[in-house]
Amino acid sequence: MSPRKLKYKHSPGKNFPIGPSFVEGGINFCLFSKNAEWVELLFFDKAEDIEPTHTIRLDPNINKTYKYWHVFVEGIKSGQLYGYRIHGPFEPSKGHRFDASKVILDPYAKSVAIPEGYNRKALSIFGDSTARSMKSVLIDLSKYDWEGDKHPKNPFSRTVIYELHVGGFTKMANSGVEESKRGTFLGLIEKIPYLVELGITAVELLPVFQFDRQDAPEGRVNYWGYSPISFFAPHQGYSTGKNPLQVLDEFRDMVKAFHKAGIEVILDVVYNHTSENHEDGPTYTFRGIDNSIYYILENDRSKYKNYSGTGNTLNANQSIVRRMIISSLHFWVRDMHVDGFRFDLASVLSRDEKGNPFENPPILWDIESDPILAGTKLIAEAWDAAGLYQVGNFTGDSWKEWNGRFRDDVRSFMKGDKGKVGAFVTRLIGSPDMYEAKERELEQSINFVTCHDGFTLHDLVSYNKKHNEANGENNRDGANENLSWNCGVEGPTDNREILKLRRRQIKNFLTLNMLSLGAPMLLMGDEILHTQKGNNNAYCQDNELSWFNWDLINTNKDIFRFVKILIKKRLKRESAQANFNLNLREFLTQSTIQWHGVELDKPDWSENSHSIAMTINALSGKMAMHYMVNAYRKPLTFEVPREVDGKKVVWRRWIDTAKESPDDICLWQHAKPLANGSYHLESNSIVILLSKID
């Protein structure tokens, strides 16, 4: 079928800005492709259309400046569907994979239309033009009313992060959200009161960039979203309708609602790879625009370097790719009012065009020094899938880091591993072995015990081994080493003693995560004991295995209460500390910390130690806290100091994780005084005492 007669007038256009831009009278289109031989701009009426209704061929003598292809088209309106057909060599041995049979998305488009009948596999067949392709959509962002929206700008000292999946949070019927809004940005708005009650100050949303749900094993879907198609367009599946314009408004409505509640929005962003995957993956974006520019290739240029573990690696420090990443971040901050970013596998961004680590990676310094991003929360997952581990050594001055060592050392000590007491204590006091010398902030470490990738907190104390059979990969996927302990029985049990022990361990982990120096992150559902039945890699489980079960709030109301009080105390404490404006080194130097074992002033740092105690005098000098941690599998009796800095104290019990609710934790004003100078700790428990100092 040949295209209909063109109804739009067009002229050469300009080579900036890159992407589609609304100007008086029409749209300027601009696309970078160094190795393309010629380019066509295609217009479509519907997402399902295979043939374009109109085609404009870009003449390299008129519509090309340097490596930028451009054209101005009159009369184009917001909502128009379009794409590119890019002609060039298919020479994989040279890194070129042009396929002019495919409709190619504009990397800078702000919305993507997904056709009915979209088939990822069909787009993997070279030369096949019969598949229904995704289309880019023109979007006019200027008409949205932000109603005076402002960023909450919560300092990290008052930040408690809640890692949340947009779809999974409200998909269950028991969420109380009407069916049309379940699993959407608008559905999330309705549950903001729950998050306010919990006390968190920031949500960290798993990927919301448009992703390919079909990038998963046969018969399953990509649920987590770590399969980006676009770095600008929000995921259409999180909208209440199929209108590609609607999803942007609903995302902005969500951000605006969070901000009104004082909650920041942090996006989990994936700039390390795309969903085009490995050599036999689909072609719908960068592979078809200029494969050798956008991806890091092996010496055999027909193959991709795979530092992401997903089949390809974005060439983030190539100048064109760097510019695109910065433009994407600008869009989400400036136009969508996002407050921060957690960079998935951020160490990939420190690799050069050959894959070698840079000492000073350009893209990371671009992000750090960018004025539009100044004040934006920047969090790095400071490792990649090829073994580059940069926790404690990540580039720059503004980046906070997911602290995988906190997770591992806390898990290891609390399950009773030998030789871990020193590492455990180091994590509790802000990981000075990594951050003190750099004079970093108290909250440099993003502390977490669990996250989306791995066991839930419930499963961490219920399973010794992963149980990922439902993923269809014969239990080969997911991490094998989880530093978990099932407390004596694998999986579900009716044994009351084991259930009590598991609950105790859960409260131990929550206490350590919330009260250690650093900024804490809580995994969605851990506060109500969500279980994935031992699945530690539920990326393809868009079902009740992953969804938030709202009935568990009542079932496990004791844990929910425990977390709420912990967060409330955390924020109150951090507000007091923030007044001193100290970095980690200064804070630890000026703080009074006394270490103990079961006997005062006799901490056991030996290989076989499973317990530690410490007395902390607040910087204000008005409050003292005494921590006792028993990771031993038998009870221990700890001596308790009668004086702090030469002043007599009256200790009150705030937390005892071995006790049943409501005696396990209380509001400070309700804390009960201790009767004598010792305290009996049950096995695997934590006790925290507090005292005013006159």
Rounded to an integer, the average pLDDT of 110-134 is 94
Annotation marks residue 527 as catalytic: no
Tokens of residue 122, six digits? 């069909």
The pLDDT tens digits for 263-321 are 999 999 999 999 999 999 999 999 999 999 999 999 999 999 999 999 999 999 999 99
| Helix, strand, or coil (residue 44) | strand
Per-residue H/E/C for 89-112: CEEHHHCEECCCCCCECCCCCCEE
In sequence order, the 6+-apart residues with CB closer than 8 A to the CB of 589 are: none
Is 344 an annotated catalytic residue? yes
The answer to whether 376 and 340 have CB atoms below 8 angstroms apart is yes
Which of 381, 384, 436, 459 is catalytic? The answer is: 381
What is the identity of the amino acid at 74? E
pLDDT at residue 4 greater than cutoff 60: no
Amino acid 82 reads Y
Name the nearest CA neighbour of 255 among 144, 346, 357: 144
Please compute the mean of the pLDDT values over residues 490-501 and round it to a whole number: 98
Task: Compute the distance between CA of residue 551 and CA of residue 555 in angstroms, rounded to an integer.
Answer: 7
| Token duo for residue 690 | 């507090």
CB atoms within 10 A of CB 692: 11
Average pLDDT over the chain, rounded to an integer: 95
Catalytic residue from among 99, 106, 344, 459:
344
Cα-only R_g, the chain: 27
Do β-strands 68-74 and 90-91 pair in parallel, antiparallel, or remain unpaired? unpaired
CA distance 236 to 244: 7
Do the Cβ atoms of 643 and 601 come closer than 8 Å?
Answer: no
Least confident of 69-83, 226-240, 548-562, 609-623: 609-623
Give pLDDT, residue 576. 56
CA atoms of 269 and 332, how far apart (whole Å): 11
- Tokens for 274, please give them: 């795309």
For residue 246, give the 3-state DSSP assignment.
helix
204's torsion region: left (phi>0), alpha (psi -120 to 50) or beta? beta
pLDDT higher than threshold 70 for residue 579 = no
For tokens 């990969």, what's the residue? Answer: 473
Q: Binning pLDDT at 50, 70 and 90, where does residue 578 land?
A: low
Is residue 5 very low, low, confident or very high in pLDDT (cuts 50, 70, 90)? Answer: very low
49 vs 46, 55, 87, 279, CA distance in Å? 5, 14, 20, 27
CA torsion through residues 248, 232, 112, 19, sign: positive
DSSP for residue 378: E
Q: Is the pLDDT of residue 386 over 60?
A: yes
